């Protein structure tokens, strides 16, 4: 830093000296503040979420026995830019929504720079594209369809519900069951993680750039593994599940999800917006919804499938979603700094350690940083949305460094 010592007053006119002294003092303060800009914090002031007529009880961090300073620090890091493109952060604990914060960021646009569209100041009424977190919602719809008797069970062949595609029931594909689709073990050749979602080399993206019926394109792929033996992440599996529900229930998939899941949850704005040219719904990630509504879905799974004293999702289905299926134990998600996870019934399963304490969580997760984390032992649900499609995704770091310690340190 350059020499900013104030000249001795004996050699200056007192009036001029006073002005210069004040100017130099201001300059010192300016240089100090700008030089330390990375450490200047927004003075975030915590306020509990607003109580609305949406079925969510609200409370305070103190009532939930959470450490407020850790949460305040996390919010300040987001506002100061340490964690970029976090769009919302909500925390539910002990039966109360105790945190609800929204931030600035970019809307999603596939062909935009970094997949970003316009800059948005997100709020509780903003619909957010939840990407692959929608897979967990599709899974819930399958469980409901079985519970309602539309589908006999998870061990049925998928071809029992795809009558227009029987010509593709060859070379052992009849062994593929509904459960294999749910657990990403269908055995069909698929390379969704071979290339980024900005590339047509990605098998999922390729579906959007061809004229063929997507169900046909998926089922035409060769069977490269015995069904049920090898994990291979596939949005194509979820497209098939959406069509299976459509045939079994005689309802379009989006209508079924609205009637049997969204409406009972009091969700009236969520929409399946991504459809192929022939009308097939992308049931693996084409859903937009509000973060508060994501929270309702997470709470339903926290409460063993119950919302507002009504059983929406069978408890056995929720239990299946918490337990790793077969060999789906040690999976690393590309570009996701989350470590190894397990997978079952379209939910991710992970053990985390905070202050030596093991925390088991299962989560709905989507590209760009969309998450619904559920921890039954902590009676906690955490919702995060974001726009880190091609940049570092911070949700797991925020979870490990701030949110879980704030819960565990004050159980």
Average model confidence (pLDDT) for the chain?
90
Mean pLDDT of 21-45: 47
- In whole angstroms, what is the distance from residue 342 CA to residue 40 CA? 39
Find the angle CA(63)-CA(68)-CA(70) to the nearest 5 degrees.
140
Asked whether residue 26 carries a pLDDT value surpassing 80, the answer given is: no
Asked whether residue 35 carries a pLDDT value surpassing 80, the answer given is: no
* Beta strand 347-354 pairing with 128-129: unpaired
Model pTM above 0.95? no
The percent of residues above 90 in pLDDT, for the chain, comes to 84
Asked whether residue 22 carries a pLDDT value surpassing 60, the answer given is: no
- In whole angstroms, what is the distance from residue 138 CA to residue 240 CA? 11
Element at 4 (helix H, strand E): none
Predicted pLDDT of residue 117: 97
Contacts of 409 (CB under 8 A, 6+ apart): 67, 70, 355
> Residues 63-80: pLDDT tens digits?
999 999 999 999 999 999
> Residues 232-280: pLDDT tens digits?
999 999 999 999 999 999 999 999 999 999 999 999 999 999 999 999 9
Return the higher-pLDDT residue of 3 and 300: 300
CA quadruple 333, 337, 341, 346: dihedral positive or negative?
Answer: negative
Predicted pLDDT of residue 410: 58
The number of beta carbons lying within 10 Å of the beta carbon of residue 388 is: 24
Per-residue confidence band for 356, with pLDDT thresholds at 50, 70 and 90: confident
Predicted pLDDT of residue 231: 97
Asked whether residue 332 carries a pLDDT value surpassing 60, the answer given is: yes
Predicted pLDDT of residue 198: 87
Predicted pLDDT of residue 42: 61
> Residues 225-234: pLDDT tens digits?
999 999 999 9
Contacts of 292 (CB under 8 A, 6+ apart): 52, 54, 56, 90, 97, 100, 124
Q: Which residues pair with 88 in a beta bridge?
A: 102, 385
Predicted pLDDT of residue 335: 87
Predicted pLDDT of residue 14: 38
Helix axes 134-147, 315-322, angle to 10 degrees: 140
């Amino acid at each position: 830093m350059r020499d900013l010592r104030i000249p001795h007053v004996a050699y200056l006119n007192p009036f001029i000296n006073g002005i210069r002294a004040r100017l130099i003092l201001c300059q010192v303060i300016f240089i100090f503040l700008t030089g330390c800009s990375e450490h200047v914090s927004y003075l975030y002031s915590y306020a509990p979420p607003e109580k609305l007529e949406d079925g969510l009880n609200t409370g305070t961090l103190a009532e939930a026995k959470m450490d407020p300073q850790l949460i305040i620090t996390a919010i300040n890091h987001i506002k100061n830019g340490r964690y970029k493109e976090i769009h919302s952060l909500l925390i539910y604990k002990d039966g109360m929504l105790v945190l609800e914060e929204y931030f600035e960021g970019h809307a999603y646009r596939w062909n935009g720079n970094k997949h970003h569209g316009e800059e948005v100041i997100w709020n509780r009424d903003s619909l957010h594209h939840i990407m692959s977190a929608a897979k967990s919602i599709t899974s819930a719809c399958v469980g409901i369809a079985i519970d309602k008797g539309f589908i006999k069970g998870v061990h049925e062949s998928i071809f029992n519900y795809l009558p227009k595609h029987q010509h593709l029931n060859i070379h052992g594909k009849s062994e593929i069951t509904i459960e294999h689709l749910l657990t990403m073990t269908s055995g069909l050749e698929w390379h969704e993680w071979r290339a980024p979602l900005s590339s047509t080399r990605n098998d999922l993206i390729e579906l959007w750039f061809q004229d063929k019926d997507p169900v046909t394109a998926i089922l035409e792929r060769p069977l490269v593994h015995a069904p049920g033996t090898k994990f291979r992440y596939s949005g194509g599996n979820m497209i098939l599940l959406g069509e299976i529900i459509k045939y079994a229930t005689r309802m379009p998939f989006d209508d079924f999800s609205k009637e049997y899941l969204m409406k009972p949850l009091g969700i009236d704005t969520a929409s399946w917006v991504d459809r192929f040219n022939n009308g097939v719904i992308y049931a693996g990630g084409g859903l937009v919804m509000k973060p508060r509504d994501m929270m309702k879905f997470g709470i339903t799974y926290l409460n063993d499938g119950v919302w507002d004293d009504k059983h929406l999702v069978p408890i056995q289905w929720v239990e299946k979603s918490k337990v790793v299926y077969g060999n789906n134990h040690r999976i690393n998600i590309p570009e996701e700094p989350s470590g190894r996870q397990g997978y079952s019934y379209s939910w991710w399963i992970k053990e985390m350690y905070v202050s030596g304490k093991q925390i088991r969580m299962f989560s709905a997760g989507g590209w760009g940083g969309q998450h619904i984390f559920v921890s039954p032992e902590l009676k906690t649900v955490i919702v995060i949305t974001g726009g880190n499609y091609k940049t570092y995704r911070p949700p797991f770091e925020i979870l490990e460094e701030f949110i879980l310690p704030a819960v565990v340190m004050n159980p």
